[in-house]
Amino acid sequence: MADLLGSILSSMEKPPSLSDQETRRRAREQAARLKKLQEQDKQQKVEFRKRMEKEVSDFIQDSGQIKKKFQPMNKIERSILHDVVEVAGLTSFSFGEDDECRYVMIFKKEFAPSDEELDSYRRGEEWDPQKAEEKRKLKELAQRQEEEAAQQGPVVVSPTSDYKDKYSHLIGKGAAKDAAHMLQANKTYGCGEATVGAGEGRGRAG
């Protein structure tokens, strides 16, 4: 009987020590704090979404606004705002280099930004429609000039006038004119550059 009672008592769990009780208490407290933080974070997200929904709604109703720039936000807040904008049927983009400095801009569908406007924001510049229009016109003008130049072909310089203008300051206008005529005659009858050199020599001697 004593052996049976002893075996029963030995098989029973021993009461937790003071150190085990303290560990469990701290674990419960930590779990409670974590749950509270999660609830607070969830509530903050809900409140932030409501605030964004209100601002987006006001933006839609304001006929004088075609775009709106928000203050820099963290990644989660930007994600919430993008979702709100999509549900509202608008367009949104994020800009900025560093994650802490990135911000969201929203646009009404009928005033969606062009590629040039988006590139301007990505460069950190303000969009100026007037300057962009001037730049576009200059680009079109330069393109038309290039096309016209290509259609006209290369400019052909007359060998006679080129020869006369090139050497008139050295041998005089009259001699240069005679030499030019000689060059034209030589080319007509198939003579080479040696004849031209002889003509130049006689011109200088005269």
**139 assigned to some structural domain:** no
User: CA torsion, points 154, 159, 164, 166, in degrees to nearest 10?
Assistant: 60
pLDDT for the residue numbered 19: 76
Q: Which domain holds residue 64?
A: 40-112
CB 171 within 8 A of CB 179: yes
Is residue 16's pLDDT more than 70? Answer: no
Q: How far apart are CA 169 and CA 183, in angstroms?
A: 18
pLDDT in tens, 181-191: 554 545 444 44
Helix (H, G, I), strand (E, B) or coil at 199: helix
Structure tokens at 54: 């209100």
pTM of this prediction? 0.53
pLDDT in tens, 136-180: 788 888 888 888 888 886 655 555 455 445 544 544 555 545 545
pLDDT for the residue numbered 97: 83
Residue 104 is inside which H or E element, if any?
strand 103-107
Is residue 15's pLDDT more than 90? Answer: no
**98 assigned to some structural domain:** yes
**124 assigned to some structural domain:** no
Question: Could you tell me the CATH number of the domain that includes residue 97?
Answer: 3.30.1370.50
Is residue 91's pLDDT more than 60? Answer: yes
